[in-house]
Structures are given as structure tokens and as C-alpha cells.
Amino acid sequence: MTHISKASHYPMIHLNKDEILVPGNASGEYALIKFNQNGKVVESSSQKIFQLQFREASNDSVKIVSIQSKNSADKNPLSE
């Protein structure tokens, strides 16, 4: 299950225990960060930036309406 934290205007998105999408700027661009079992960063993808579009569903949740990689034609890069 994907966990969405509304820590800022653009939330961090926890994909699972070792992957997180982190907002990179105020335009909704995200970078994928992967962690090892000890919680240390093993990969920080500045080469693959994701553009997410949100629609607010309620006060404590948001709905992702589209995900696209800016560096490829992938329509759903999170399924790689």
C-alpha cells in the first residue's frame, strides 16, 4: 500500500519500506530515492524525475491522477 504524507504542499510518497518519492521543487517534480535494509540511501535518482498530478480527496488524503517520467515516455514509471 502506498503511504502519502502531507508534510508539505507536495507530499512525500512512501512506495514501500525502501522506496520513497521526494518532491524536488515547487512544480510537483519528484525524485525516487531507494534505501537499503539499514535505512541508508543506496540510490537517489536525479536522472529520472517524475511529474505527479494530484487531486485533493479530503483533508487528510490526496489522489494521484497521473504519473509520468520526464526523461522517458513511460506512462506509469512506478511499475518498472
pLDDT in tens, the chain (80 residues): 455 555 446 677 777 778 787 777 666 677 778 887 777 777 776 656 777 766 666 666 666 776 676 665 544 544 44
Question: Residue ranges per domain, the chain?
Answer: 3-72
pLDDT at 10: 67
Whether the CB-CB separation of 17 and 1 falls below 8 Å is answered with no
Closest CA to 67 of 19, 14, 5, 21: 21
